[in-house]
Amino acid sequence: MKKIINIADEVVNDMIEGLVAANSNLLKRVDGFNVIVRKNKSDNDKVALVTGGGSGHEPAHAGYVGEGMLDAAVCGNVFASPSPDQIIEGIKAAEMGKGVLLIIKNYSGDIMNFDMARELAEMEDISVETVVVNDDVAVEDSTYTTGRRGIAGTVFVHKVAGAMAEKGADLAEVKRVAQKVVDNVRSMGMAMSSCIIPAVGKPGFSLGDDEVEIGMGIHGEPGVERTSVKSAVELSEILTSRVLEDLPFKEGDEVALMINGLGSTPLMEQYILNREVHRFLTEKGIKVYRTYVGNYMTALEMSGCSVSLLKLDEELKELLGAPAETAALTQRCKGVCK
């Protein structure tokens, strides 16, 4: 195993300390817990957004803590849900008196532990609502889930709900737009290589030099098909057609498009895939309003990518373009980032 680490069991702690050191103007850690919060809470009392999950998906989730997005992120061990005691600390550190929205990816451990933390918060008179993200169209049930998995489309939920909360909306309104994104975002991914969990020290699965797995999950869960290496044109059609058919999207729709790298796929290849997805969507009469290309939700050093489409209306377009400043953004976005 070749990784830039110290002790395998300490990778999450060391990663958190490095993240905070690099973004000390934006972030701080809750003492004694694997919880990252905004260094300076909003000047206005607002609904707090809290999320989390297993580490190894960076920049998700802590990279999206900041103005216009999340108020806290709770970091579990690699590919493992954070415990309820960690999550409740994140809730208490983030809440500002107007309630808390928990954004949960649909994995069994996350659902169970966030629900337990919600119950603990309500015992302390903190109003809590939840949304569950299940954007992956590849498989209905998988190794870690009942129902569809939550993957890179979750970042759109963070952005839209965060913008609504920043406007001062109440908890019901913030939940409404978060659920609106969940209802209108679809994703599908593929993998070309495995990844190595530091504490395990060996790949979780193997793919031949000429193999790819279509529909693989961000923890290495099985997909729908193991097949030979495909061209960017073929991959764009396989992934995007499944996404389009599921909602379904139709001619004339406007969408936000995310090409998400899983950790080891070069930007060159991501941009090539983006080119082909744009062409495919144009042929279908679907307009791409905004495009995001990069590593938004990874799987350690897995090679592969996912395609996410969010169907837009005027409300979602406005919220998607609202200002945000987080560690995962290289610059303050004033709604002009394309």
Among 143-147, 238-242, 281-285, where is mean pLDDT lowest? 143-147
Amino acid at 286: I
Confidence band of 72 (pLDDT split at 50, 70, 90): very high
Q: How many CA atoms lie within 13 A of 79 on its CB side?
A: 19
pTM score, two decimals? 0.95
Mean pLDDT across the stretch 154-174?
97
**What domains are defined for the chain?**
8-184 (3.40.50.10440), 185-326 (3.30.1180.20)
Amino acid 336: pLDDT: 41
Q: Is residue 199 scored above 60 in pLDDT?
A: yes
Active site residues: 57, 219
- 126-157 confidence digits (pLDDT tens): 999 999 999 999 988 777 778 899 999 999 99
Say yes or no to pLDDT of 337 above 80: no
Say if residue 54's pLDDT is above 50: yes
DSSP helix/strand/coil, 62: helix
167 class by beta-carbon count within 10 Å (0-12 exposed, 13-18 middle, 19+ buried): middle
Q: What is the CA radius of gyration of the chain?
A: 19
The two beta strands, 100-105 and 48-55, are: parallel
Report the first-to-last Cα separation within the chain, whole angstroms.
38
As a whole number, mean pLDDT of residues 261-266 equals 98
Q: Across all residues in the chain, what is the average pLDDT?
A: 94
CA–CA dist 73, 2 (Å, integer):
28
CA-to-CA dists, residue 63 to 57, 255, 296, angstroms: 10, 24, 9
Q: Does position 161 have pLDDT exceeding 90, yes or no?
A: yes
